[in-house]
Amino acid sequence: MQVVYHLGAPCTDADQLMMSLLKNRLRLAQAGISVPPPGRYRSVIRDTARALKGRPAGEDVQDALLDAIVDDAEVDRLILSDPRFVCINRLVVQGAQIWPMVERAATGLRALFPQAQIEFFIGMRDPATLIPALFKASRFSDFQEFTENMQPHAVAWSETLRRLQMAHPDCRITTWCNEDTPLLWGEILREMAGVGPGAELDGIDDLAASIMEEEGYRRMRGWLDQNPPETETQRRRVLAAFLERYAKDAEIEETLNLPGWTEELMDEMSQSYDEDMDVIARIPGVNLLTP
């Protein structure tokens, strides 16, 4: 059995990936691909992993988990998602690291199905916007207090992915930039489902629809219906053109007022994030999706 763990990151897709995949639940189930509703497994997965403390689950525990998650269905590929699989939002960035506990968390998740082939999926986000988003989602009211133990200028996703890859070199890691998700949505859905690049799936325009003006989205759908793209690259070009013209400003721009953070610091963080993608592309065992 293959088990996919979508780790988030927090403050990226807001569960929209799972909502889009769930539109294909019955179709995928016919191929042995299970996409259970998150409410069926999130607390069960966390509680079981906490109880096992990294010890491999026995057959009885695995059977109980599968019964709770998928009933009696035959499953070849199981897709699970939770932005808190690794930790709560407040602990995502500590010191100079993103997810300093990712190795331990991944070990706990892997131990739930020790004979399975495990894959990890991670949507990265620019720390210059990730940290403010984590603060906004927290119970903190003071940004400086929230970031007291952080070294935001030093964090790098490549360091996180290297630690995860070194801890679990036999687990495939697929990752992408959250900023690219409007163009990658269909590819991400297919990668998570484990289907081919030409597979028909519902929901591949869900994210575009949510960030695009309604009139623009209708025009894009009309254009695609009249001019079916022959390749994914062609489809992305059309999507990019319509997003450039019709994207909702509120969905792609954020006004930030962060005490202690200068515009220069945020620009440097974003530049480092962009440069970090070249490093990630060279990490063995990591599949970086790009437009």
Average pLDDT over residues 31-48: 95
Q: What's the distance, Cα to Cα, between the start and end of the chain in Å?
A: 30
Q: Output the pLDDT for position 250.
A: 55
Q: Output the pLDDT for position 253.
A: 46
- Half-sphere exposure of residue 182, counting CA atoms within 13 Å on the CB side? 20
Q: How confident is the model at residue 235 (pLDDT cuts 50, 70, 90)?
A: confident
Helix 157-167 with 102-110: angle, nearest 10 deg:
40
136-174, pLDDT tens digit by residue?
A: 999 999 999 999 989 999 999 999 999 999 999 999 999
Q: Output the pLDDT for position 252.
A: 43
What does the CA dihedral 19, 21, 22, 26 come to, rounded to 10 degrees?
170
Contacts of 161 (CB under 8 A, 6+ apart): 122, 173, 175, 280, 283, 286
Between CA 3 and CA 78 the distance in angstroms is 5
Residue 217 above 50 pLDDT?
Answer: yes
258-289, pLDDT tens digit by residue?
A: 888 988 999 999 999 999 999 999 998 899 99
Higher pLDDT, 191 or 224: 191
Q: Are 17 and 196 in contact (CB under 8 A)?
A: no
Of the candidate ranges 149-158, 171-180, 203-212, 252-261, the one whose mean pLDDT is the lowest: 252-261
Q: What is the mean pLDDT of the chain?
A: 92
Burial of 139-148, coded b for 16+ CB within 10 Å and e otherwise, reads eeeebeebbe
**Dihedral pair phi/psi, residue 55, rounded to 5°:** -75, 140
Higher pLDDT, 3 or 223: 3
* Structure-block tokens of residue 118: 């495990």
Which one, of 123, 35, 32, 31, lies nearest residue 79 by Cα?
Answer: 35
80-92, pLDDT tens digit by residue?
A: 999 999 999 999 9
Q: Are 130 and 156 in contact (CB under 8 A)?
A: no
Higher pLDDT, 252 or 20: 20
Q: How confident is the model at residue 256 (pLDDT cuts 50, 70, 90)?
A: low
- Half-sphere exposure of residue 89, counting CA atoms within 13 Å on the CB side? 16
* Structure-block tokens of residue 196: 């081919």
